Amino acid sequence: MIDLPVDLPAELVPLSWLLGVWEGSGVIDYTVGDEKITHEFGQRLSFSHDGLPHLNYTSYTWLFPDDADGEPRALATETGYWRIARELGEPDPGPALLPGVGEPRYGTADDVEALRNASGGFDLEVSLVHPGGVSELYLGQVKGPRIDLATDAVMRGAGAKEYAAATRLYGLVEEHLLWAWDIAALGQDLRTHASARLAKVD
- Kindly report, residue by residue over 117-160, the tens digit of the pLDDT: 999 999 999 999 999 999 999 999 999 999 999 999 999 999 99
Cα–Cα distance, 184 to 165 (Å, whole number): 5
Determine the pLDDT at residue 69: 78
CB 126 within 8 A of CB 138: yes
- Kindly report, residue by residue over 60-82, the tens digit of the pLDDT: 999 999 887 789 999 999 999 99
Determine the pLDDT at residue 3: 62
Determine the pLDDT at residue 68: 75
Judged against a pLDDT cut of 90, whether residue 99 lies above it is answered with yes
Judged against a pLDDT cut of 60, whether residue 184 lies above it is answered with yes
- Kindly report, residue by residue over 12-68, the tens digit of the pLDDT: 999 999 999 999 999 999 999 889 999 999 999 999 999 899 999 999 999 999 887
Q: pTM of the entire structure?
A: 0.94
Share of the chain above pLDDT 90, in %: 90
**Amino acid at position 153, single letter:** A
